[in-house]
Every structure is written in C-alpha cells, then in structure tokens.
Amino acid sequence: MISNTLKTAVAVVVIGGAVMAGIHYFGTAQERTPASSPKKIAQPGVVEFAPNAPQLSSLKVAVVKEVPLPASDAINGRIAYDENATARIVSPIAGRVIALHAEIGDKVARGADLADIDSPDLANAEADWRKAQADEALKRRAFDRANILFDGGVLARKDYEVAEADYRQAKAETKRTSLRMRNLHANGQEDGKFGLKTPISGIVADKQINPGLEVRPDLPNPLFIVTDLAHLWAIADVPERSAANIHPGQAVTLEIDAYPGQRFAAKVDRVGLVLDPGTRRIQVRCSVNNGDLKLKPEMFARVSFLAGNGSQKAIPLPNTSLFAEGMYSYVFVEKQPGSFEKRRVNVILKGHERSFVDAGLASGERVVTEGAFLLNAEAAGDAQ
C-alpha cells in the first residue's frame, strides 16, 4: 500500500516537472519569435523588412528620372553619315597609286590632294589639250588672213567660210579638252600624274586605297569618304501605325548602347512618302548635332519621337515595376532601406519593355524594378 502511494507521488512529480519545462520552453520560444521574424509590423500599404531579411535579396531598386514623353514606344534605328555633308571619292580615271597624302581621321580642306595617281589616260588627255590649243592657234591665224583677203576682194566667199568653220571647230575642240582637264583637276604639266582631290572640307572617315593599287572609275567602293562628323543622320523605319504621329521638325531623343543612361537630342528632318511594301514601315530621317563626336556612323540607336515636341514630361519604368489591381496600376517606392510603400500611378504610355508614368511618382524617387509582385503578396498577407 505504501509502495503504491510512493509510486503515485513520484509520477505526479515527474509529470509536473515535464509540464513546467514545456511551459518554460514555450514561453521562451514566444519571446524569441519576434526578434527572429524578418518582417516588421507596418501600416497598411507599407511593407517593412529587417536589415537581414532574405526577401531583400530578391528585390532590385532604381532611381527614376523624368524625361520628355515619347509619342510612341522607342524604335530601333541606326546612325548614318549626313549625305549632304559627305563625299564618296573615286578616281575618274584609270591609273596606279604612287603616293598618299591623307589617312583616316585627318582633317582636309576643300581641294586638298588625297593621293597621287600615275595615269597614262591623263597623259593622253593632256596631250589632246595641248594639241587642241596649237590647232586653234593655227586655225585662228588662217582665219585672220582669210578675213583680210576676203575684205580685199581677193578671196572667194567659199574659202572664207571654210577658214571660219575650221577655226570654230578648233575652238570647240580646245574647249572640250580643257573641260576634260578641269573635270580631272589636272594642271597640264604633261607628266601623267593625277592628283585625287576632295570636293569638300571635312574628316577622312574611311579609305580603301594603298600605294601601288590599280584604280579605275568603276570600282565598287569609294577610295575615300570625307564627311563632316559634327552632323549625322539617325535613320529609323517607323511602323505604319505610328506614322501619323511623326512630322518634320519634331523633337527626338536617341539612346545608344555605348552611352547607357545618356540621351542625345535630334530632330526629324524628312519623313518618307511611301511605305516599304514588305515591312509596312516608313523611313524617317533625323538630323543629329554631333559636335562632341561621340556618335559614330553605323551605331545602333533607339529612337524616341517626343510628344508635344518635348514639352510633356513623364517617368519611364520597366514593366516589371508595374502591377495592376482592378483598373489601376501600382508600384512600390522605397521610403527608406527595408521600407516599401505601395503607390498608385497613372500609366500614360505602355510599351513592350517599359512604360511611362505621368502621375504618382516624382523624379529622384527609388522604385522597385524587380520583385514588386513579392511585395504585393506580402502586403496582401498583412491586410488579411
């Protein structure tokens, strides 16, 4: 009897100790839970995380800046030479290159020699010119004598007219050969050396000529390209649906991969009159002031035609920043490290990769560009 009572007492003590230990452990765990939780309690529409919260590694935040609002989504284009300030120079005569006077990057003045070419054809042209000059002088003297004799009545009119016709033909031949010499920019030294000259001032942007090269007028590529690189064109093929929003004089901005975050100003110069039947696009040419020579011909560019000639402003956002609830669009703005505020914005232009917001954000604010859906899920969980 005493043994059973003792056993019961021992069991009660053991069970009581276990219960007390469990209560102590549970209380301790309760006290530790708030300290280890990655998310803080915040006001509605605001999500806050502790500095070491793992969710922060899934977020990307960027500073947004206000820019002129484009009339449509950016269009792929390219930088090209301004053909009104560019000369593609070929040799007008066959021959062999014997000397070069210009290299790529050199500044050249109008009429400067770029290369010397030894040309038998030029030697023949010079000989023809000298011969025509001598023949004209001879025929002029003969015509002068015939004129005197005709006035004296000792020369028949027929002979006088023959002398006059010979002189006029010789004069025409001299003019033809002199025009040929002027076309070749030849100086008449009768040495057969032709100086290849530039018709404009500018910079040698390209050359495909070397000493000893045989040249002729029908070569497929120019020997030199001389251009004014301070003035370039931006060429864009605009889709048919956007053509009505573009007109000459319209302001344009260019984005170049070589200069991320930098925008270059341009202006619509010409709008094509017909569409390409294959692509259903119309070509638009924009003039670009390239005084700092940063832009290079054949660079790729993203061309944005501005609405209101650049007076209307908006903030560009990647589409990953935006999420919709009902009829409205929202973003998350970082108020301070680890604290994000859900904010309604107005999307005025939506593109394939980015959209433009004209209300709800200010230039210089930090916006979540990746992970907005995660934050929205966290905010919805807090609301419940």
Q: What is the mean pLDDT of the chain?
A: 84
Where exactly are the structural domains of the chain? 41-67+313-383, 75-82+228-310, 89-225
**Fold adopted by 89-225:** OB fold (Dihydrolipoamide Acetyltransferase, E2P) (2.40.50)
Closest to 344 in 3D by CA, of 358, 356, 328: 328
Cβ–Cβ < 8 Å for 60, 369: yes
The answer to whether 356 touches 342, Cβ cutoff 8 Å, is: no
Give the domain 75-82+228-310 fold.
Elongation Factor Tu (Ef-tu); domain 3 (2.40.30)
More confident residue, 126 or 365: 365
Residues 119-143 have a mean pLDDT of 88
| pLDDT at residue 24 is higher than 70 | no
pTM of this structure? 0.64
Tens of pLDDT, residue by residue over 173-209, are: 999 988 888 877 666 565 678 888 999 999 999 999 9
**Over pLDDT 90: what percentage of the chain?**
38
Q: Which two tokens stand for residue 273?
A: 């009159």
Q: What is the pLDDT of residue 245?
A: 82
Q: Which fold has domain 41-67+313-383?
A: 2.40.420
Of the two residues 108 and 350, the one the predictor is more confident about is 108
Crossing angle (nearest 10°) for helices 157-183 and 120-151? 150
pLDDT per position as a tens digit, 43-93 = 777 888 888 888 788 888 989 888 888 877 788 999 999 999 999 999 988
Can you spell out the DSSP letters for 13-40?
A: HHHHHHHHHHHHHHHHHHHHHHHH-SEE
